[in-house]
Amino acid sequence: MICPNCGNKINEVEYEYKPISMWGYFWYQLLFMIPFIGSLALVIVALTHKNINVRNFARSYFCVSIIVLILFALFIMMGIFTYPVMPIFDTV
């Protein structure tokens, strides 16, 4: 690309390092929220996408998803393990 004012060559950012637009983040999040298909797309994008920024976004989304699943499992286990103790609190 050439500058219209001075005629010098303008360095363009390679696709590999090109930033993601706000709409890009929005559409990727929407894609990743689709059950099953989104999970598959998340893994594929996190491992194979050519743009580093998209790949890092998918990896961070994957990490947050894993943390949320672990917290959800912990809350479910706490509910299951405290259920037998609940009659003790009914007598108070």
Q: For residue 58, what are its two tokens?
A: 């998918």
Q: How far, CA to CA in Å, does 76 sit from each of 64, 70, 86?
A: 18, 10, 15
pLDDT at 41: 97
Q: Are 47 and 11 in contact (CB under 8 A)?
A: no
Domain boundaries, the chain: 19-83
Q: pLDDT (tens digit, 9 = 90+) per residue, 30-51?
A: 999 999 999 999 999 999 999 9
Mean pLDDT of 13-41: 95
- Residues shown for the chain: 92
Q: pLDDT (tens digit, 9 = 90+) per residue, 51-85?
A: 999 999 999 999 999 999 999 999 999 989 888 88
